[in-house]
């Protein structure tokens, strides 16, 4: 029986991934991550994928499935590869995607290597994406449920890891999973959705960044050189931003910040 280590966040998708793999005959081991470093205080977001509540939910699901469940500490890796890079990208006037960073450096690096070292033949997650063998290697493709497709967030996965990765939900739809939950009488209150950026539970990255980035206020200009007013710091704005724009009467594609970055 092949052993599969499943990343379990306590949410419905990863819980169903574990359930489906067990039904397919794999020896399933659930793994939940501890990610938030100590300097992030008072974060208790029940929808985040690494909160205490989600760890407890994952543990309950594993018990219901009669599979082993472990919690591994990846705080150091998460701080270095996700949080620090998130902050540095905003400092540079760029817009990072922390989920892409987490997939690349946590799920398909730190977790992957840990699972293999513990005797796992494969790893699995609850992502909506499809892996297919193709001439010359393996191919990452969009999921059947295009409204839930997450292949974009998984593009950095190298070939050797794709070969040893399973996405059980790739050919499922969210509606089908909800119907299956009803049929097997699974208590979905125990397996709520996990979402949001886990280290920014309030959904607003600006207060978080202000703890680490010294605001550099300055003038903002229209493309013809007309001064519009003052901005509060480049780290508070992103390319393509619409909400929270400091000059609502002016398109964000037509103004620029002196000496820092032209917004196109």
Residues 6+ apart with CB under 8 A from 259: 218
Structure tokens given for 143: 């999921």
Structure tokens given for 165: 């990765």
| 198 catalytic residue (yes or no) | yes
The residue written with tokens 């007013």 in the block is 229
| 50 catalytic residue (yes or no) | no
Give the full edge-to-edge strand order of the sheet including 227-231.
Answer: 227-231, 218-222, 255-257, 261-262
Length of the chain: 264
Burial class (CB in 10 A: 0-12, 13-18, 19+), 187: exposed
Q: Which residue among the candidates 49, 50, 99, 102 is catalytic per the annotation?
A: 102
Q: Is the dihedral of CA 43, 242, 146, 164 positive or negative?
A: negative
Q: Which residue among the candidates 49, 50, 99, 198 is catalytic per the annotation?
A: 198
Enumerate the active-site residues.
102, 198
């Amino acid at each position: 029986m092949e052993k599969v280590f499943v990343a379990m966040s306590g949410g419905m998708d990863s819980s169903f991934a574990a359930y489906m793999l067990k039904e397919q005959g794999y020896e399933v081991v659930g793994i939940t991550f501890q990610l938030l470093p100590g300097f992030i205080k008072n974060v208790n977001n029940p929808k985040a994928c690494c909160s205490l509540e989600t760890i407890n939910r994952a543990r309950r699901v594993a018990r219901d499935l009669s599979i082993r469940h472990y919690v591994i500490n990846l705080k150091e890796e998460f701080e270095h590869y996700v949080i620090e890079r998130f902050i540095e990208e905003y400092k540079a006037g760029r817009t990072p995607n922390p989920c892409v960073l987490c997939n690349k450096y946590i799920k398909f690096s730190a977790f992957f290597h840990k699972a293999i070292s513990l005797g796992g033949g494969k790893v699995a997650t609850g992502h909506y994406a499809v892996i297919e063998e193709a001439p010359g290697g393996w191919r990452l493709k969009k999921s059947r449920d295009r409204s839930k497709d997450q292949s974009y967030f998984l593009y950095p996965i190298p070939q050797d890891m794709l070969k040893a990765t399973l996405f059980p939900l790739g050919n499922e739809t969210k509606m089908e999973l909800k119907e299956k939950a009803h049929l097997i009488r699974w208590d979905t209150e125990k397996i709520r959705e996990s979402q949001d950026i886990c280290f920014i539970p309030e959904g607003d990255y600006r207060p978080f960044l202000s703890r680490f980035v010294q605001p550099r206020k300055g003038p903002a200009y229209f493309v013809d050189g007309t001064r519009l007013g003052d901005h509060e710091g480049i780290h508070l704005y992103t390319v393509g931003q619409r909400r929270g724009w400091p000059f609502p009467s002016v398109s964000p594609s037509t103004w620029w910040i002196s000496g820092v970055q032209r917004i196109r």
